[in-house]
Amino acid sequence: MKDQTNSDKVFNEILKPSDFEFNQTVAGVFDDMVSRSVPFYHEMQRMTAEIAATHAKENTKVYDLGCSTGTTMLMMDKMVTEGIPFVGIDESEEMIAKCREKLSNFSMRREVELMAADLAAHFKIDNASVVTMVLVLQFIRPLQRLNIVKNIFEGLNKDGVFILIEKILTEEKSFNREYIGYYYDFKRRNEYSELEISQKREALENVLIPYKTSENINMLREAGFKEVEVFFRWYNFTGIIAKKSK
């Protein structure tokens, strides 16, 4: 039987329509929510850490933008060379608080700086060899995304990489409904009810705005990345690595 501690029950009763928010309620159950809502979530995290370990350089920093509860940093900590500092940034104060609490239970092998900040603001990314955004850019207004990616490009050192994981639209519209159907079947297998699936879909409708893989790749190239490659795909989820080669 599934452990009910911090179990995601946010949408298991009829709620007044409202947009999805990364508030204290969501932060408290986020790890359960995302593991049951995102196919191969733990494998995505493992792959992200594996790629980060290959490209992280001594005397640089690794940034996790939209760090949520710190899962990506915890996974990277196991693989990235000891002593390379991490910087975790999230727009949600509640997520940062949860992240700080979660990381305090582990002996991290490096310095970790956490901050709450608007990802659309032009904050400085400095001396970065790796920047990750795991299921984050999709929640940012489309008009702001290119500027964020340009900021990441500018803050990366030569040969630094940007690891982007996103929910996506299909290239061919005819497959989109089919893939969404497979995705909802995945949620049902993870014990989400029809009410929960329906209410979360409505809450996310104006908040999570996915791009096609090709649109994400074009955006990365426009920001300055020359080397771009897909490293993961499951129906309507994808992982992309972009390398700064100049």
**CB-neighbour burial class of residue 44 (10 A; exposed 0-12, middle 13-18, buried 19+):** buried
Answer whether residue 245 shows pLDDT above 80: yes
In this prediction the pTM is: 0.91
Rounded distance between C-alpha atoms, residue 102 and residue 177, angstroms: 37
Bigger pLDDT: 184 vs 4: 184
The rounded Cα 135 to chain-centroid distance in angstroms is 3
Q: Is residue 143 within 8 Å of residue 120, measured between CB atoms?
A: no
Q: What are 219-240's pLDDT values in tens digits? A: 999 999 999 999 999 999 999 9
Answer whether residue 3 shows pLDDT above 60: no
Q: What are 67-103's pLDDT values in tens digits? A: 999 999 999 999 999 999 999 999 999 999 999 999 9
pLDDT for position 4: 41
